[in-house]
Structure 1
Amino acid sequence: MRPLNEATLQLVRSFEGLYLEAYKDEKGVWTIGYGHTGYDIAGGAVTAGRKLANQEEAEQLLRVDLENVAKDVAKLLLSRPQAELNDNQFGALVSFAFNLGIGNLEKSTLLRRLNARDYLGTVPEFAKWNRCEGKVLRGLTRRRTAEAALFCSFPTPVSIAA
């Protein structure tokens, strides 16, 4: 499995925010941690009154959630684009799918353009996904802009000690 880089984790953390107590999001879905909405072994389903012990627990949930989304994203990519994407590009797709659901990525023109290796045509497709129930949301517009910027950026080089 392709590991996610720190730039991806930072982007998701910054837009999801940290909530140690469950709350309902804009669509009425119970959420906790950094955007966790599903089941997990330790705590079961996210429901009213659920609390996390600390930021580390939220971080663990986030990493498991993003690993699962990354596996699903990888399955949607044709082999050549998957091999050609840098870590930031892949991370932008994972953030997109984590926020909107893998089904929305699967049916998107963004994915069709990406799999056709139309990388320049992929970038403006992020901006089209800034609505919730037909209404443009400022937060979604900002997130799609950040994902597109991550997609267009080169990963930070890692220095290797001699």
Structure 2
Amino acid sequence: MRVGEKGLSLIKKFEGWYSKPYLDPIGIPTIGYGFTYYLPSRKKVTMQDKALTLQEGELMLKEVLKGYEGDVLRLVKKPLTQNQFDALVSFTYNLGGYNLSKSTLLKKVNINPNDPAIAGEFVKWNRAGGAVLKGLTRRREAERDLYFSK
């Protein structure tokens, strides 16, 4: 299973596109669609890095997404709809496979992917550096809405 257009659009919307390095809300050097490292080298982004073209960014996004898609496929033990998969890939893209693996969200998905209580689990993940961020709250709400959309 691969992330679909709805998931890709959600990721792009919330990550935004930045051709030049910038510091994310908690001070991590980031570039492109929220990249903190480059593939295949896994070299971390620095503030001195050269700008990316949009074409380079699109190629990087496709490569980076493969890892997060793999995390979701490996960790989720129940069949998912495309929208459920897309929402979980977006969540994992933003928070990482480790956080998904330790989450109550994943536990509930693996019991019953259609459990309405899953909705409340998305929005718990709206903090960065200990602070609630409005952008993360909006993103988690969008992921929740995508997860439960038909």
The answer to whether the superposition gives a TM-score over 0.5 is yes
Contiguous gaps of at least 5 residues in structure 2: none
Between Structure 1 and Structure 2, how many residues are aligned?
A: 149
Q: 1:76, 1:135 → 2: CA distance?
A: 28
Task: Please give the root-mean-square deviation of Cα atoms over the aligned residues, in Å.
Answer: 1.6
Q: 1:71, 1:5 → 2: CA distance?
A: 14
SS of corresponding position for 2:68:
helix
Q: Higher relative contact order at CA 8 Å, sep ≥6: structure 1 or structure 2?
A: 2
Paired residues of 2:20 and 2:52 also in contact (CA < 8 A): no
Q: 1:104, 1:136 → 2: CA distance?
A: 17
The equivalent position to 1:125 in structure 2, one of 121, 129, 148, is: 121
Partner residue in 2 for 1:142: 138
SS of corresponding position for 1:128:
coil
* TM-score normalised by L of structure 2: 0.92
Contiguous gaps of at least 5 residues in structure 1: 155-162
Q: For the pair shown, which has the larger CA radius of gyration, 1 or 2? A: 1
Counting aligned pairs with the same residue, the percent is: 44
Partner residue in 2 for 1:115: 110
Partner residue in 2 for 1:36: 35
Dislocated runs of 4+, deviation >4 Å: none
Q: 2:38, 2:130 → 1: CA distance?
A: 28
Letter in 1 for 2:58: E
* TM-score normalised by L of structure 1: 0.86
Residues 10-89 of structure 1 aligned to structure 2 (within 5 Å): 10-41=9-40, 44-78=43-77, 81=78, 83=79, 85-89=80-84
When structure 1 is superposed on structure 2, of 145-154 and 44-53 the one drifting more is 44-53
